[in-house]
Structure 1
Amino acid sequence: MPLPEQRHLDTLARLRDAWKAQGYAITTAQTEASGGELTAEADDGSTINVITTDPPDAMRLLVHSACYKNG
């Protein structure tokens, strides 16, 4: 997803807060000056990961389904 670098840290913080409020376990929360990475896990083992790209002009979204991992 294209996203200006100056919005990455705020976006990661907002996603972290929203995912926590929805009951996801935050398993990775790393930030640096130009962005970072955030991973959340659901009770069923599904995961959501958002990471700053290199160069930091976008963020990558990965969703891993528990049924795919265990299937």
Structure 2
Amino acid sequence: MENHDKDDKASVKTASFGATMKAVFWSFFGVRKRRDYEHDAANLNPIHVIVGGLIGVALFIGILVFVVRMVVAKG
């Protein structure tokens, strides 16, 4: 029975970085189905999630700074 448990854990693949970025993107909006959340929780690499979150935050801040500069420049 122990050997069967090891096979189940070994058969679970980690998601690609692209899949992780997609999950991070949707998490910024807070829109996620429970089934997708559970799949992500089981398959995402925590390091990819952290890196993806940092990239997402940097993009979000960059877009906000760009928009503010455009509005201030026109005003």
- TM-score tier (shorter): under 0.3
More helix per residue: 2
TM-score where L is the length of structure 2: 0.26
Structure number, greater radius of gyration: 2
More strand per residue: 1
